[in-house]
Amino acid sequence: MTRNLAFVILIFGLGFACQRSAAPPEMVKSPNGQLAVEVFLTPGTQQAAYRVLFRNEVVIDTSRLGFVFQDQAKLAGGLKVEQAIQSSIRETWEPVWGEDAQVANNYEELKVDFKETMGLERQFSVAFRVYDDGLGFRYEFPAQPNLDSVIILDENTEFSLTGDHQTWWQPGDWDIYEHLYNATRFSEIDAISKRNHPNLAQTYIPENAVNTPVTMKTDAGLYLSFHEAALYNYSDMTLKVDKDHLRWVSELVGSPDSSKVKIRTPFHTPWRTIQVAERAGDLIESHLIVNLNEPNKLENTEWIKPMKYAGIWWSMHLGQYTWEMSSGRHGATTEHAKNYIDFCAANNIKGLLVEGWNTGWEHWIGFEDREGVFDFVTPYPDYDLAEVVRYGKEKGVAIIMHHETSSAPRTYEKQLDTAFALCQSLGIHAVKTGYVGPIIPKNEYHHGQWMVNHYQKVLETAARYQVAVDAHEPIKDTGIRRTWPNFLSREGLRGQEFNAWANDGGNPPNHLPTIAFTRMLAGPIDYTPGIFDIKFDQYKPDNQVNTTLAQQLALYVVIYSPVQMAADLPENYANQPGMQFIRDVAVDWQQSKVLDGEIGDFVTIARQEKGGDRWFIGSITNENPRKIDLAFDFLPAGRKYLARIYADGPNAHWDNNPLDLVISEQVVDRSTTMPVQLAAGGGVAISLTPQ
Ligand code: NOJ
Ligand code: CA
């Protein structure tokens, strides 16, 4: 990857600014004029407020903005508008890796400066950036005499709805996003603590709040999704359900002393985002979240490599091997690692994750005193780290380092330089991190400001040692991959691992068709697809994957990540015709198109590989079988492609017959329409090679 690609390339930029006299409401429209935001003071109370219109219809009604600070009057009404400035940006930038090689960043900005007319005369601005596919707004607090060190007790940002929309939501857990999504009307949201994570019973879930992204559909068929962008030095925003007024109100994640954020002026909040789409698939194609982030800060990015990887991993989740050595069934041995490297080399898989390689796993989960357990540099005696890395290099397979912190971030922070220096000395350029268990110290939460800063410190330290990060039990993605492209991927959802051990039946067939329109709007997902031994009765007769084999293949295209695992045991891929798709499928993309989909039902995505002519298609369905008609009109004119189709067989079914896979070939061009039958819990994966 050339250095140039690492940089934002401004293809053309138009900037102008004009100052307006303070005559609210101020209004700003998206470049195509369809989405509009009005900013004004509420009559009487003079509180800052906004409204959003799409095609002249209100989609977010009058919503107030304000804060509650400790030891200060709350910041709400009594304001005047000092000035409003509009500006306009049209540019295209090139991410280091991503769903599309070029990203258009076109928006109109309106920044309104507010000031209290009496008392402390505090000042702040709200900047709105309005795109064709949604908007973001953030608070900006300048340095000022009466607002210096601030303790935020509440941010009261409202999002007033125009109806009781259908909502795809998960509880607003402060510690983990590993929950199933629920589909209910807004007024029926019932996000109480009854759905605690099976392994992390202590997670904190406030009543009636949801995590973002949360996605909605109005009765008129408009799609809305609420999230945030560029979360730094602040707490994760959950959304409280105000049923009486049919609105969301921001609820920041807390800390041991019940404050939400401690910060000094000048500061600004993350962007509060609202995606607006007429087609469900447009939610996925949107670049709103990354666009609201700053350009790439890393000068040299050649070491950041999208790739497929395998792992000494699933075998531990199945109970075949263990992370700890004392069991006598240690997974991370030199010998196993070499076998896996041979498997990777034979199957066009460029990375190998090895978990359980370092000492400490005898004392990691379920113990109170986890501080100091892992040191991230000491291998178990049966694992020769240097030799494994050497063997991998010889075979063209990079080792992915593993840092399970057991949620003792202070221990990890003390070790960061040592740990990443070890990676650098071995030529290791990727790490998977983990944060299982409640955070030490008690009452810090995974999603609070303190941990947001920790995750960022890890990311920035890793970058200094040329290491890319794939975080499990992470803070949610808010598009910072644009600025820090070494943040490759994250978990932050119920991943494949739940199918190995969850006692609630695992991830149901509607999980991933929902994830594509909710969690995936935040950013890349390390779901770890590719389980071929769907029932794994030999290891866990009571658990299974709840999809067909064809769907497992389709996930490499549908669920976006620049690192994609071939998660199953090597022996389960032996002599499997479906393995050819995993060998072939790309991980970095020139362009991505969502051909069709409905939230929770099905989704079909086509992606063209970056720097090549091949296309890949993935389609997945929930528990309902369905026929789709694939139109190939996205292909360039005048070219023919050989389509290799990995489809559900006539008798396929996620539970009764998941392995029924039929592979066929057909020549297609842009005029082709191909009917495909997806089984219950099934899917289809297609590779298209130019002829
Ligand atoms: C939970 C992670 O999600 C999983 O991938 C990992 O194997 C375990 N923690 C151990 O670190
Ligand atoms: Ca996890």
DSSP per position, 208-252:
TEE-SSEEEE-TTS-EEEEEEE---SS--EEEEEETTTTEEEEEE
341 and 275 share one domain:
no
Cβ 151 under 6 angstroms from ligand 1: no
pLDDT digits (tens, 9 = 90+) for 79-137: 999 999 999 999 999 999 999 999 999 999 999 999 999 999 999 999 999 999 999 99
555 and 482 share one domain:
no
Last residue of a domain, one of 257, 291, 325: 291
Atom of ligand 1 nearest to the CA of 404: 11
**All residues at 6 or more sequence positions from 390 whose CB lies less than 8 Å from its CB, including other chains:** none
Q: Can you read off the two tokens belonging to residue 657?
A: 């017959």
Cβ 365 under 6 angstroms from ligand 1: no
609 and 486 share one domain:
no
pLDDT digits (tens, 9 = 90+) for 577-592: 999 999 999 999 999 9
Residue 201's pLDDT band, with cuts at 50, 70 and 90, is low
307 and 270 share one domain:
no
**Is residue 20 scored above 60 in pLDDT?**
no
Residue 192's pLDDT band, with cuts at 50, 70 and 90, is low
| pLDDT score at 1 | 31
38 and 164 share one domain:
yes
| pLDDT, average across residues 11-25 | 43
**CA of residue 316 to ligand 1 center, whole Å:** 10
In a domain, 518, yes or no: no
Query: Among all ligands shown, which has an atom nearest to the Cα of 404?
Result: 1
DSSP reduced 3-state for 484: coil
In a domain, 543, yes or no: yes
Atom of ligand 1 nearest to the CA of 313: 7
Rounded to an integer, what distance in angstroms lies between the CA atom of residue 686 and that of residue 202? 43
CB 148 within 8 Å of CB 267: no
Number of domains in the chain: 3
330 and 287 share one domain:
no
pLDDT digits (tens, 9 = 90+) for 339-372: 999 999 999 999 999 999 999 999 998 888 999 9
Query: Among all ligands shown, which has an atom nearest to the Cα of 400?
Result: 1
**Is residue 234 scored above 90 in pLDDT?**
yes
* AA identity, residue 294: E
Preceding peptide of 43 cis, ω within 30°: no
Q: What is the CATH number of the domain that holds 219?
A: 2.70.98.10
Q: Any idea which residues carry the catalytic annotation?
A: 497
Percent helix, strand and coil across the chain, each rounded to 5? 20, 35, 50
76 and 196 share one domain:
yes
Cβ 472 under 6 angstroms from ligand 1: yes
Q: What is the CATH number of the domain that holds 469?
A: 3.20.20.70
In a domain, 57, yes or no: yes
283 and 307 share one domain:
no
Residue 215's pLDDT band, with cuts at 50, 70 and 90, is very high
Cβ 355 under 6 angstroms from ligand 1: yes
In a domain, 573, yes or no: no
In a domain, 194, yes or no: yes
443 and 532 share one domain:
no
Last residue of a domain, one of 291, 316, 341: 291
| pLDDT score at 684 | 99
Helix and strand counts by DSSP (H, E) for the chain: 13, 37
| pLDDT score at 22 | 41
284 and 318 share one domain:
no
Residue 202's pLDDT band, with cuts at 50, 70 and 90, is low
In a domain, 30, yes or no: yes
**Is residue 441 scored above 80 in pLDDT?**
yes
Q: What is the CATH number of the domain that holds 547?
A: 2.60.40.1180
CB atoms near residue 541 (< 10 Å): 9
In a domain, 519, yes or no: no
Query: Among all ligands shown, which has an atom nearest to the Cα of 331?
Result: 1
Q: Which domain holds residue 655?
A: 526-560+579-691
**CA of residue 434 to ligand 1 center, whole Å:** 6
Cβ 497 under 6 angstroms from ligand 1: yes
Last residue of a domain, one of 291, 325, 358: 291
pLDDT digits (tens, 9 = 90+) for 610-646: 999 999 999 999 999 999 999 999 999 999 999 999 9
In a domain, 354, yes or no: yes
418 and 303 share one domain:
yes
**Is residue 7 scored above 50 in pLDDT?**
no
| pLDDT score at 225 | 99
285 and 309 share one domain:
no
